[in-house]
Amino acid sequence: MTSRVFLFGNDIDTDQLAPGQYMRGGIDELAAHCLEGVRPDFASTVKTGDVVVAGTNFGMGSSREQAAEALRRLGVAGVVARSFAGIFYRNAINLGLPVMIASDLSAVTDGDPAVLDVEEGRLRLMEKGIDIALEPLPDNLKRMLADGGLVPHLKKRFAAERKENDT
C-alpha cells in the first residue's frame, strides 16, 4: 500500500495533537483523538508510513510529549514542516519520531502518494516525480534518531560506560 501525505496548515498546537481531556488516559485513547479538532477522520484513516506535512510552528504549546507519541503510535513515518515549536521538536526526536524541516512545501497536496526518506533527507512525491530536499538533522540528533530515540540512546551509552568501568 502506498503511503500518503496528510497536509496541515500553520500553528498546529499540542491541544490538537493530544487533547487535554484525554491526558489522564493511556496513549491509545489519546492517539484515537489526535488532530480530531482540525481533521476528524485523521486517526481512523492514517496508515503506517504516512507522512504529516505542515506549515510553520508545528507542535506549539504544551510540553506534553504525548503530542509526538500519538503520531508515532498511529504509525506516522515522520513530520515534515516549514518549522517546529522547540519543545515538540526535542520530544519527537527523543521518542524516535523523525521531524524534518523544508523551506518550500508548496508542491505538496493533501493525499499525495509520498515516501519520507530520513537518511537521504528527502520527501519523494511519487506521482508528481518531485523530490523535496529536507534540511539535514544536526549530528547529535541524527545519532539519537538512529538509535531509536533518547531511551535506547542512553541505554547504549550506559552500557558502554559500564563496559569501560569493567576494563
**Contact footprint for another protein (CB under 8 A):** 11, 13, 15-16, 19-21, 23-25, 37, 56-57, 60-65, 68, 83, 85-87, 89-91, 94-95, 138, 140, 149-151, 154-155, 158
- Taking Cα atoms as reference points, which of 105, 58, 64, 65 lies closest to residue 84? 58
Instruction: Pick between residue 31 and residue 60 the one whose CB is nearest to another protein.
Output: 60
124 half-sphere exposure, CB direction, 13 A CA radius = 11
Output DSSP code: residue 60: B
The least CB distance from residue 102 to another protein, in Å, is: 16
Min dist CB 128 to another protein, Å, is: 29
Task: Give whichever of 60 and 134 is closer to another protein, judged by the CB atom.
Answer: 60
- What span, in angstroms and rounded, lies between the C-alpha atoms of 129 and 139? 29
- Judge residue 141's burial from the number of C-beta atoms within 10 Å of its C-beta, 0-12 exposed, 13-18 middle, 19 or more buried: middle
- The CA-CA-CA angle for residues 60, 62, 63, to 5°, reads 105
| Cβ 53 to another protein shortest distance, Å | 17
Q: Which strands make up the sheet holding 99-101, listed edge to edge? A: 5-7, 51-54, 78-81, 99-101
Q: Which residue lies nearer to another protein by CB, 82 or 128?
A: 82
Comparison of 3 and 91: residue with beta carbon closer to another protein: 91
CA distances (Å), 2 to each of 35, 67, 99, 100, 113, in order? 22, 25, 20, 20, 6
Shortest spacing between CB 140 and another protein, in angstroms: 6
Closest separation in Å from C-beta 3 to another protein: 26
Nearer to another protein among residue 65 and residue 112 (C-beta): 65
